[in-house]
Chain A
């Protein structure tokens, strides 16, 4: 045993990479279906949207790029599906320069194909991307058409039914920012104090810890923290709307719930290596001359 642990100290790290690769790949091929427990921050977000009335409008801001899509895509899709089921209208924008718009287009197209009754311009609208996120938010606080004169297809906002009666962010019932980096924080620290519009954030796991402070201070309604938060939201949606299970049980599509299998197995592997590595280190120190 001692010799085995000593050999571990000199282990080529590429073996660890291989273990990590296999621990993530195998659950994708053979889903395990490990249980997902929900947290209060995700339940609050879910309940807030559930409490909105049919015909209310929320703004969904795609503030992330392809690099964090595995975490953020499932959040955006889950919330849009919930909106479609609850007849809540949604306005889509993208403020992240590198790929935010493409991800928004893909997510909207996917959800619209799942809910063919959704009508562009009436039930939802995609306003596209705008550069300079902070200045865009400032402008939207007073005048959305000033920041987005047209939708993605070039239709002026005055001719879009969903935008009737929505001149500024004060007239939307919620901002849901699916975010990586600083843009999500600006919705909380800049838009919320100016317009009073409630904010829910779906950050990447890397940025999630800092948002707990905003959650505790009441500046955020709820939060979906990383892939775990997205998986929790998927669970809540499936529990409330059993017919939605068809989107989350397929083996040929990616879901956060499925991703959490890989996460859990990989975390166990990392824990195992931490234990083995530290044991080997302590044993080697004990045997070394003082």
Chain B
């Protein structure tokens, strides 16, 4: 019989501490919760420093400043973000934040138009009574849901019925999404129990 390593014991203790909340709130759960939040933040800072800032900023500047001098600009913008912790010059961080936000708006705008809106609209342009028997249901579903979300005008007797149909389509899709969510959450439990049984209990029992 080989006892599992200390890391497995700690992980098992923290797993049981986290699951103990299902019985009732207790200090073990709070300890595990706080530790998780702290470790996550520390890990995020460490990995960003080690995997992004060092190879993409510090090393290129240290090895060949002449060729990589332009990296000083994003480096300074990054530093400027932290100026908000110095009250007297806190306004400086707004410039960096403005550039950051602008970049991502530009990126996201293109992404939404080219990656989502256009291909999805193109997909619904198809023969309603073509070879695909579900195309009719598909088009009716899209139109009725769009009518449901049309809030600019008060709904009349006809549009109210169409939007009612839209609600049914929405409910069916929410039901499917909820079913998938249950499956996803159970998968997390399966993962933890697999760890407890296969990596912790089995080695202790020598199985």
Residue numbers of A with Cβ under 8 A of B are: 14, 17, 20-21, 24-25, 28-29, 67-71, 97-99, 101, 128-132, 134-135, 138, 147, 149-150, 154, 186, 188-190, 192-193, 204-206, 208-210, 213-214, 216-219, 225-228, 252-254, 259, 262-263, 266-267, 270
Contacts and interface: CB of A to CB of B under 8 A. Distances in A.
A70 B115 contact: no
A217 B193 contact: no
A270 B183 CA distance: 11
B102 interface: no
Interface string B109-146: 01110111001101100000000000000000000000
Contacts, number: 143
A52 B36 CA distance: 42
Given A20-B189, A101-B47, A193-B111, 16 more contacts: A17-B22, A21-B189, A25-B193, A28-B193, A68-B187, A70-B187, A70-B190, A97-B48, A98-B43, A101-B51, A186-B111, A189-B111, A189-B114, A259-B190, A262-B186, A263-B186
Contact of B190 (A130, A149, A252, A262): A262
Contacts of B110: 190
Interface string B77-103: 000000000000000000000000001
B51 A131 contact: yes
B181 interface: yes
Given A17-B22, A67-B188, A217 B123 contact: yes
24 contacts: A14-B22, A29-B197, A71-B187, A101-B47, A128-B51, A129-B52, A135-B103, A135-B107, A138-B107, A149-B55, A149-B56, A186-B111, A192-B115, A193-B115, A206-B185, A209-B173, A209-B177, A218-B119, A252-B202, A254-B194, A262-B193, A263-B186, A263-B190, A270-B182
A192 B184 CA distance: 26
Given A14-B23, A97-B47, A186-B111, A206 B180 contact: yes
B44 interface: yes
B176 interface: yes
B180 A227 contact: no
A101 to B, nearest CB: 6
Interface residues of B, number: 47
Contact of B181 (A71, A206, A217): A206
Contacts of A226: 180, 183-184, 187
Nearest to A228: B183
B157 interface: no
Contacts of A67: 188
Nearest to A261: B190
B198 interface: yes
A87 B55 CA distance: 30
Contacts of B198: 28, 252-254
Nearest to A69: B191
A134 B119 contact: no
Given A135-B107, A193-B114, A216-B123, A227 B190 contact: yes
Nearest to B124: A217
B10 to A, nearest CB: 14
Interface string B14-35: 0000000011000000000000
Interface centre among B43, B52, B60, B104 (most CB of A within 10 A): B52
A131 B52 contact: yes
Contacts of B51: 101, 128-131
A205 B180 CA distance: 5
B159 interface: no
A266 B110 CA distance: 43
Given A70-B194, A193-B114, A205 B183 contact: yes
Contact of A71 (B55, B184, B194): B184
B112 to A, nearest CB: 7
